[in-house]
Structure 1
Amino acid sequence: MSLKERLQEDLKTSMKNKDKIKKSVITLVRAAIKQQEVDNRVELNDEEVMTIISKQLKQRKDSLVEFEKAGREDLVEETKSEIQVLQDYLPQQLSEEELEKIVIETISEVGATSMKDMGKIMAAIKPKTAGRADGRKINELVKKNL
């Protein structure tokens, strides 16, 4: 079952179970997928769908930080629930130790010696961590290990 089909089935289930948060998150994700397909006149594969879900997840995490700063506990709880729904569609996230190991290996593979090589390192790491790690976290680890 493709990721789009899974989203469709989960949408039906969430509607039957009257799960408003899951329904709204899946609806927004499906709308973003449809928008990409219409704009680019293509059929998205699972990897491209995961990229969209990752972007949605990043937006929720950024919003969560702002809501916490503002003291909006109602929105904090709702956003945490949305984040959990989105994470169910992504592969298991890498632990910090696994991610650091990949970063160190990639730095030696690329032969990086300074911050000037940051672009090459990030480009080499992206395919290895696709959908399994936050870009910001990768960036921090690369800076730490250079």
Structure 2
Amino acid sequence: MREKIAQALKAAIEAQDKERIPTLRLIQAAIRDRDSAARNAGRDPVSDEEIREILVRMVKQRKESARQFEESNRPQEAAAERREIEIISGLLPKPLGDDAMRKACEQVVHEVGAGSLRDMRRCMNALKEKFPDQMDLGKASGIVKDMLQ
């Protein structure tokens, strides 16, 4: 993830993309802050999973800000927040489509050796671990439940 973000920033600088550069620098600053906090606590630098969490949190914050700007009748600021959401979301793993989600659920049910609804939690934990931020866990839950009935 770090490399992907660094490459995106380098490409934005080369293209002189004045919208992407500040957002990508903000992302890198957030990661550096988290690295610094981890180092001060005696831990390793943040993992790709933690970087994903940072990005997801940034998207959520911007969605809330955009909503508040719209309620305050400030459409230009809301549009700026939405552009940042697009930039940040572009760095996150692409969500799985319905067919890919069904196949992933089948694979996990098979790997876990699930045979009944009692195994539902193990299946969902495995999906959450294998496909973080890539699937709607509500839909996946319904698919797994149908498979186990």
Q: What TM-score bracket applies, with the shorter chain setting the length?
A: 0.5 to 0.7
Partner Cα separation in structure 2 for residue 30 and residue 87 of structure 1: 15
Q: Report if aligned partners of 2:70, 2:78 keep a CA contact under 8 Å in 1.
A: no
User: Which residue identity is paired with 1:83?
Assistant: I
User: Which residue identity is paired with 2:98?
Assistant: E
CA drift of 1:125 comes to 0.5
The aligned counterpart of 2:134 is 132
The aligned counterpart of 2:124 is 122
Unpaired segments of 5 or more residues in structure 1?
Answer: none
> 1:95-114 deviations in whole A, cap 9, x for unaligned?
13322442355356444516
Q: CA 1:34–1:144 in structure 2 vs 1: closer, same or farther (change >3 Å)?
A: same
Q: How many residues align?
A: 137
The aligned counterpart of 1:4 is 2
Judge which range, 23-32 or 4-13, deviates more: 4-13
Q: Say whether residues 1:54 and 2:40 are aligned partners.
A: no
Unpaired segments of 5 or more residues in structure 2?
Answer: none
What RMSD in Å do the two structures reach over aligned CA positions?
3.4
TM-score (norm 1): 0.65
The aligned counterpart of 1:141 is 140
Q: Which has the larger radius of gyration?
A: 2
Partner Cα separation in structure 2 for residue 130 and residue 24 of structure 1: 26
CA drift of 1:49 comes to 2.5
CA drift of 1:13 comes to 5.1
Q: Report if aligned partners of 1:99, 1:138 keep a CA contact under 8 Å in 2.
A: no
Partner Cα separation in structure 2 for residue 113 and residue 6 of structure 1: 39
Q: 18, 32, 35: which is aligned to 2:33?
A: 35
Identity of matched residues, %? 23
Q: CA 1:141–1:63 in structure 2 vs 1: closer, same or farther (change >3 Å)?
A: farther
The aligned counterpart of 2:88 is 86
CA drift of 1:124 comes to 0.8
Partner Cα separation in structure 2 for residue 120 and residue 36 of structure 1: 30
Partner Cα separation in structure 2 for residue 95 and residue 68 of structure 1: 31
